[in-house]
């Protein structure tokens, strides 16, 4: 069996693994690499050289610099201005999509979306707008913005590095700008004027209370003296129940303590504020002896009534001011009795593609013991899940309602791989750090433009300088590096090279040349564009670029024309994953908050993809002639 056939077999199984989604894409890529080594397609000594490839280093450096921009306050300043838009929908779309488009040109596009997503959610809630109208345009805007510069998206970095390996000279920082800017602007105009009308309307999801219906599920349960749970800790209560019923708070002596911070033993008279339906309440009554709080309260009222009847007659003859005071006290008492989430640090968050929570349960994650978080509710596809919380296996795009200590929430969510959606408090960075961060980035760009340093070296130096001057703590820098993407790139680069060295890419190119022999080269370019675009909608866009770049080079060589337009076609098309929620992390991130379904994306994505094809091809041939 020839090496080319073996490569096709490995790539075929790899594509199946990517589409199936049972294993995360970085694991699938690693299996493809090791399988290629075992089959003799990749030399053992070269198996892990991909992790030192300039494209991998550049992507890692860009992720660190992106985090530095966030930390320095640059993005918060932009977001603060965006919140002043007003209630005009077209203006909201223009500012939100335009802002994420510009941010994506100079930082990781997923990072840009993650920063603007809470702003869009806040706008939707403030103006009672369905977030589904805003979020899909926002996600697509982040993809379009990445087309404009070398560092905007991994496919650009991969294509530039591939050109360097073939011709000895890589694409520069702004080599992608002429085509990328025109495509991005045309896409922005289309989305703002017409495209948003093609997005589905998902009603009732702008408010956290509407989505999770929290008030209808918060109940008070009192511990009578004979309750089994007297003397138990909350952890022992959960173990006895065998169910993760979230205890939101414990009320003792008229003081309410968050459930996650209550470490003592329960005692008679305590009131537990519990999130759950009838089944959970019945479980607490049967196994722990808890009772709904209404009966004791009624008894208290009767006792109070008896006390009042026994009081001297002059007490009843209070003046008007005394009656008002009594009414105010009764209102305060009633307010204290009613279930409330005030002060309990409830936060909404969406599960990212690379989250450690994907395909795991709350029990497996030890969410409370290890991360200090209580899971209150889960929403998927725009609706709250009624399944028992401990039985839910999380998926990317799920929206979670969590409770935790306010000081540790951000760190816990970052560790778990969740993006907070609730009102985002803008914390402006120090002006000095903001200026330093911009200056470091500008120097790196200048070094690249003047050919003083390769992109990987210049951007790595910029990332290092940001750490040294304190723009970004070292711990945050390591968290900013997207491990799964780095593994994907490092593993798939040798596999992509094997496609070329085995003759597999040339064989595919020869087949395409036979079919396109009687047609102009531009028709083959269009076919390459469509093929690469379709591939990026079912696998990671970086993987699509890695696989299509050798085929593009073989096609250019077969036609005897310039390599550049073929590589530019791959760069643009691999970044246009508008048809499915799985083609790009940006699409997946908005799926839960927007309440989208799998089939919703093509409504806006298909016309936008065709528009990009029609606009990009003439621009590529004009800027990079055959």
Q: Determine the pLDDT at residue 514.
A: 75
Q: Determine the pLDDT at residue 402.
A: 81
Q: Determine the pLDDT at residue 279.
A: 67
Question: Which of 362, 356, 359, 360 lies closest to 377, judged by CA?
Answer: 362
Q: Determine the pLDDT at residue 328.
A: 54
**Rounded Cα–Cα distance for residues 72 and 428 (Å):** 8
Between the two ends of the chain, the Cα-to-Cα distance in Å is: 37
The DSSP letter of residue 238 is H
Q: Determine the pLDDT at residue 1.
A: 65
Q: Determine the pLDDT at residue 156.
A: 92
Q: Determine the pLDDT at residue 216.
A: 47
Question: Which of 114, 28, 153 lies closest to 488, judged by CA?
Answer: 28
Are the C-beta atoms of residues 250 and 257 closer than 8 Å to each other? yes
Q: What is the pTM of this model?
A: 0.71
**Rounded Cα–Cα distance for residues 75 and 92 (Å):** 17
Q: Determine the pLDDT at residue 330.
A: 53
Q: Determine the pLDDT at residue 382.
A: 66
Backbone torsions φ then ψ of 374, nearest 5 degrees? -105, 130
Are the C-beta atoms of residues 211 and 125 closer than 8 Å to each other? no
User: DSSP assignment of 263-332, as one string?
Assistant: -S---TT-EEEEE--HHHHHHHHHHH--EETHHHHHHHHHHHHHHHHHS-HHHHT--HHHHHHHHHHHHH
Give the max Cα distance, the chain: 109
**Quick check: helix, strand or coil at residue 394?**
coil
The residues, any chain, with a CB within 8 Å of residue 11's CB and separated by 6 or more, are 32, 495, 499, 504, 547
Q: Determine the pLDDT at residue 517.
A: 67
**Rounded Cα–Cα distance for residues 66 and 279 (Å):** 46
Q: What is the mean pLDDT of each run of 10 residues along the chain (626 residues)?
A: 83 82 82 91 89 86 82 69 77 90 85 80 77 90 92 90 89 92 96 90 53 56 83 81 73 77 82 72 78 47 41 40 51 47 65 83 81 78 70 85 72 81 50 78 87 88 90 82 82 84 81 75 90 85 86 88 94 91 81 80 93 95 91
């Amino acid at each position: 069996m020839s090496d080319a056939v073996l490569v096709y077999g490995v790539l075929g199984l790899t594509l199946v693994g990517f589409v199936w989604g049972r294993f995360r894409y970085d694991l699938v890529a690693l299996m493809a690499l090791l399988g290629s080594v075992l089959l003799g397609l990749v030399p053992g000594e070269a198996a892990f050289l991909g992790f030192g490839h300039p494209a991998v280093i550049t992507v890692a450096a860009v992720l660190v610099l992106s985090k530095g921009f966030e930390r320095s306050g640059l993005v918060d300043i932009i977001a603060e201005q965006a919140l002043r838009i007003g209630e005009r929908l077209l203006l909201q779309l223009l500012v939100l999509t335009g802002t994420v488009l510009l941010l994506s040109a100079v930082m990781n596009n997923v990072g840009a979306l993650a920063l603007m997503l809470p702003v869009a959610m806040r706008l939707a809630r403030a103006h009672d707008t369905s977030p589904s109208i805003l979020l899909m345009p926002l996600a697509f805007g982040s993809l379009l913005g990445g087309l404009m510069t070398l560092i905007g998206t991994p496919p650009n970095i991969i294509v530039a590095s591939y050109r360097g390996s073939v011709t000895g000279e890589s694409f520069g920082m702004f080599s992608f700008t002429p085509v990328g800017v025109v495509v991005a602007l045309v896409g922005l105009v289309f989305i703002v004027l017409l495209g948003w009308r093609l997005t589905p309307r998902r009603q009732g999801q702008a408010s956290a209370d509407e989505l999770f219906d929290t008030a209808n599920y918060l109940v008070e349960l009192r511990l009578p003296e004979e309750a089994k749970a007297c003397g138990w800790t909350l952890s022992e209560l959960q173990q006895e129940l065998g169910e993760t019923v979230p205890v939101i708070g414990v009320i003792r002596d008229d003081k309410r303590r968050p459930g996650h911070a209550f470490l003592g033993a329960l005692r008679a008279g305590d009131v537990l504020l519990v999130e759950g339906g009838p089944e959970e309440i019945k479980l607490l009554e049967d196994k722990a002896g808890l009772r709904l709080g209404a009966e004791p309260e009624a008894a208290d009222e009767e006792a109070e009534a008896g006390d009042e009847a026994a009081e001297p007659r002059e007490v009843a003859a209070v003046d008007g001011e005394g009656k008002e005071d009594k009414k105010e006290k009764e209102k305060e008492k009633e307010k204290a009795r009613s279930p409330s989430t005030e002060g309990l640090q409830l936060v909404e968050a969406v599960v990212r593609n690379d989250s450690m929570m994907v395909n795991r349960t709350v029990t497996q994650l030890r969410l409370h013991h290890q991360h200090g978080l209580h899971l209150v509710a889960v929403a998927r596809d725009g609706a709250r899940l009624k399944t028992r919380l401990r039985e839910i296996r999380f998926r990317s795009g799920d929206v979670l309602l969590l409770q935790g200590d306010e000081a540790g929430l951000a760190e816990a969510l970052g560790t778990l791989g969740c993006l907070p959606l609730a009102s985002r408090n803008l914390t402006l960075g120090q002006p000095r750090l903001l200026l330093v961060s911009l200056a470091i980035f500008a120097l790196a760009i200048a070094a690249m433009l003047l050919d003083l340093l390769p992109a990987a070296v210049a951007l790595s130096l910029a990332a290092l300088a940001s750490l040294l001057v304190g723009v970004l703590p070292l711990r945050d820098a390591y968290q900013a590096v997207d491990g799964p993407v780095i593994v994907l790139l490092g593993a798939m680069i040798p596999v992509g090279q094997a496609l070329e060295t085995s003759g597999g890419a040339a064989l595919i190119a020869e087949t395409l040349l036979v079919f396109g022999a009687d047609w102009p080269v531009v028709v083959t370019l269009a076919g390459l564009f469509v093929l690469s675009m379709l591939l990026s909608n079912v696998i990671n866009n970086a993987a699509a670029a890695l696989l299509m770049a050798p085929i593009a080079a073989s096609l250019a060589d077969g036609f005897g024309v310039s390599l550049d337009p073929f590589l530019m076609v791959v760069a643009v098309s691999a970044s246009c994953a508008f048809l499915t929620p799985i083609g790009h992390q940006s699409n997946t991130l908005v799926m839960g908050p927007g309440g989208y379904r799998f089939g919703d994306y093509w409504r806006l994505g298909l016309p936008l993809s065709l528009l990009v094809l029609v606009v990009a091809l003439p621009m590529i041939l004009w800027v990079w002639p055959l």
